[in-house]
Amino acid sequence: MRRSVAWIALGICCFGLPGTGRAEPEANVPLFAHYYTWYTTGFGPHKRWGHWGHPGPSEFYPRGCDPERILFSPSIRQIASCAYPLIGPYDSDNREVVRWHIRLAKAAGIDAFTVDWWGDAHWQTPRGWTRHVFEDVVLPVAEEEGFKVCLFDETPEFYRDLDESIAWAIRYLKRYQDSPAYLRIEGQPVYAIYQRWDGRLTLEEGRRFIESVEREVGDVYWIVDKIVARAEQPDESDLALKIVEGWETLERLDAVSLYATFSSFRKSDPETLGRVYRQVTERVHRAGKKIMLPVHPGMDNRKIQLDEVNHPRGLPHWIIPRREGRTLRDYLEAVTNAGADYIVVTSFNEWPETTNVEPALTWPDPYRYLKILAEFRGKPWTAPELPPAEALDPVMRGCLEGN
């Protein structure tokens, strides 16, 4: 595969120098990243836009966001993100795009993707979309590239039929766990579960979920999002993270996690983060569990529709400034000092919330955040070759080819 002259010229014109400063390398703690496979495009084989646009009003787009509109001629679309992908919008089942993502992750020192997954849930379009992408594209490409992936199941939070969620977990763990690319910890296949704030999954439901799956699948390494923020001061200026009550007693639960701090508090200075992360890590370790802590490059959701449910404590938007890479460095310092057992980047490619580290055309250095991760891991950075032209958005491809 050969990098095109047009790409190089575009880089010279648009990209500046990477951020400065250093994080201490940490090569021993496993580093994961949440990876999203819910994207489809109007120009791709599915002929519809999935998660690149948004029909509802937002701060930036009161009339909604439509990727069919060219925002800046000739090749920049109106997408629902406050950053723009280096390769433009893409389909999540494009093998060469997934291959590029995996090679980027490996170059940055990321050990595995925790892949967002919704089983066979009917509200996906097409039905079972994320399951299809994981099974037919992500897992096989990860096998070819010598990379690790696992499921990150959101259905226990958003799907109301827990029995069906359990059935999906059993069916697909049986199917995937023997793949050389499926992530194992302590010899057991990893299953991660997302929960929002307190989470819908009760302690007894969690016990039933784990016991039901292990009866059919065997031992599983369970990572469940059961850490929440709680106010310690009436003005909520000081927050601590805590395990949801009772979950520390769940014998077969191996590790607890939280997806994000930006849904709870927006402080990103290393002193506050260090204190909060140390406190919760000590509590988790005293309970005999391990902990997976998130690091964020930043966050900005002003181009997607907002509602009262997603406005905790009256905050209009979830924004964490990126500060030219300093935010990610501060989070990495905090998780290292806290003694986290696992670190997870939130996220690799969640574009609507703009938490991504995937390279963006709109940053002075599109690879800035991956370079910071590579530095943290003590790895020299080398950018992998870009996907072939036929994998790109046609309007961008035409621009790059001079058409």
Structure tokens at 225: 């999002």
Provide the CATH number for the domain formed by 5-400 in this structure: 3.20.20.80
The listed range with the strongest mean pLDDT (25-29, 236-240, 360-364) is 360-364
- The whole-angstrom separation of Cα 271 and Cα 284 is 20
- Residue 371 CA to its chain's centroid (Å): 17
The pLDDT tens digits for 246-287 are: 999 999 999 999 999 887 777 788 888 999 999 999 999 999
The pLDDT tens digits for 57-100 are: 888 898 899 999 999 988 999 999 999 999 999 999 999 999 99
In this prediction the pTM is 0.90
Tell the residue number behind the tokens 């089942």, with chain if given: 93
The pLDDT tens digits for 295-346 are: 999 999 999 866 545 544 444 567 899 999 999 999 999 999 999 999 999 9
In angstroms, how far is the first alpha carbon of the chain from the final one?
21
- The whole-angstrom separation of Cα 128 and Cα 147 is 24
Closest CA to 68 of 37, 40, 43: 43
173 phi, psi to nearest 5 deg: -65, -40
Element (H, E) at 139: helix 139-145
Number of H helices, E strands in the chain: 11, 15
- The whole-angstrom separation of Cα 210 and Cα 178 is 19
- The whole-angstrom separation of Cα 52 and Cα 39 is 7
Let me know the angle formed at the C-alpha of 265 by 330 and 365, rounded to the nearest 5 degrees: 40
Spatial contact of 155 and 165, defined as CB atoms under 8 Å apart: yes
Q: What is the mean pLDDT of residues 19-29?
A: 52
Tell the residue number behind the tokens 């002075």, with chain if given: 364
